Structure 1
Amino acid sequence: MDWIRENKPLAAILGVITAGSLALGYLLFGAWNSYSEVKESYLAQGGQVAALKSTRLSPDENNLKAKRGLVDEYAANVNKLGGALLILQPPVSPVKDIEFQTKLKAKIAEVRKSAVASKTVLPAEFAFGFDEYTSGLPKAEAAAELSSYLDAMVELVKLFMTCGVQSVDVLERSKLPVEQEQASATLQQRRGQQQTMVGPQIFEKREISVILTLDQGPLQLLISRLANPSDMPFFTSLRLLRVENQMPEGPLRADVRVPEAVAPVEGGNTTAAAPAADEIKPPPPAPVDSVPVIGREQLKVRMEIDLLKFIDAAKGASASTPLPGR
Structure 2
Amino acid sequence: MNWFQQNRWLGTFLIVFGICTLLGLFFLFSGKSGFEEASARFNDAAVERGRLERVDPFPTDDNYRKMKVHLENYRTALDKFKEKLKTHVVSIAPLAPNEFQSRLRQAMLAISDKARANKVKLPDNFHLGFDEFTAALPDTAAAPLLGQQLAQAELLMNILIDARVDSVTAFQRKPLTEQHGAAAAAIPAPALGRKPAAAAATGRKLVERGIVDLAFMSSPSVARKVLNQIAGSNQQLYVIRTLHVRNEQEKGPRRESTEAGASTAALKPIPSGSIKFIVGDEHIEMSARIETIRLTF
Residue matched to 1:170: 170
Distance in 1 (CA, whole Å) between partners of 2:273 and 2:94 is 64
TM-score, length of structure 2 as denominator length = 0.64
Distance in 1 (CA, whole Å) between partners of 2:218 and 2:272 is 32
After TM superposition, give the deviation of residue 86 of structure 1 in Å.
Answer: 2.7
Cα displacement string for residues 291-316 of structure 1 (whole angstroms, at most 9, x for unaligned residues):
334432201111111100111xx3xx
Cα RMSD of the aligned pairs, angstroms, is 3.6
After TM superposition, give the deviation of residue 190 of structure 1 in Å.
Answer: 3.0
Matched letter for residue 249 of structure 1: K
After TM superposition, give the deviation of residue 209 of structure 1 in Å.
Answer: 1.0
Matched letter for residue 295 of structure 1: G
What is the identity percentage for the equivalent residue pairs of Structure 1 and Structure 2? 20
Q: Mark the CA change 1:124 to 1:289 in structure 2 (over 3 Å): closer, same or farther.
A: closer
**1:97 and 2:97 aligned:** yes
Please point out which of 279, 286, 289 is paired with 1:301.
286
Q: Mark the CA change 1:191 to 1:90 in structure 2 (over 3 Å): closer, same or farther.
A: same
Q: Classify the secondary structure of the residue corresponding to 1:122.
A: coil
Residue matched to 1:204: 208
Distance in 2 (CA, whole Å) between partners of 1:301 and 1:95 is 34
Residue matched to 1:190: 197
Q: Classify the secondary structure of the residue corresponding to 1:178.
A: helix
Q: Which stretches in structure 1 are left out of the alignment for 5+ residues?
A: 1-58, 259-283, 315-326
The count of residues paired between Structure 1 and Structure 2 equals: 225
Contact 2:214/2:287, CA 8 A, preserved across alignment: yes
Per mean C-alpha deviation after superposition, the further-off stretch among 218-227 and 245-254 is: 245-254
Q: Mark the CA change 1:189 to 1:246 in structure 2 (over 3 Å): closer, same or farther.
A: same
Q: Classify the secondary structure of the residue corresponding to 1:121.
A: coil
Q: Classify the secondary structure of the residue corresponding to 2:171.
A: strand
Distance in 1 (CA, whole Å) between partners of 2:98 and 2:178 is 17
Distance in 2 (CA, whole Å) between partners of 1:151 and 1:287 is 48
Distance in 2 (CA, whole Å) between partners of 1:289 and 1:179 is 57
Q: Mark the CA change 1:111 to 1:73 in structure 2 (over 3 Å): closer, same or farther.
A: same
Q: Mark the CA change 1:211 to 1:192 in structure 2 (over 3 Å): closer, same or farther.
A: closer
After TM superposition, give the deviation of residue 152 of structure 1 in Å.
Answer: 0.9
Q: Which stretches in structure 2 are left out of the alignment for 5+ residues?
A: 1-55, 262-268
After TM superposition, give the deviation of residue 157 of structure 1 in Å.
Answer: 0.2
Cα displacement string for residues 149-187 of structure 1 (whole angstroms, at most 9, x for unaligned residues):
111101110110112211111111111111123152537
Matched letter for residue 189 of structure 2: T
After TM superposition, give the deviation of residue 246 of structure 1 in Å.
Answer: 1.3
- Within a 5 Å distance, the mapping from 1:69-218 to structure 2 comes to 77-180=77-180, 181-183=183-185, 184-186=187-189, 190=197, 193-196=200-203, 200-218=204-222
Q: Classify the secondary structure of the residue corresponding to 1:209.
A: strand
Distance in 2 (CA, whole Å) between partners of 1:202 and 1:285 is 65
After TM superposition, give the deviation of residue 192 of structure 1 in Å.
Answer: 6.2
Matched letter for residue 304 of structure 1: R
Distance in 2 (CA, whole Å) between partners of 1:159 and 1:217 is 14
Distance in 1 (CA, whole Å) between partners of 2:257 and 2:158 is 36
Identify the structure with bigger relative contact order (alpha carbons < 8 Å, sequence gap 6+).
1
After TM superposition, give the deviation of residue 95 of structure 1 in Å.
Answer: 2.0
TM-score, length of structure 1 as denominator length = 0.59
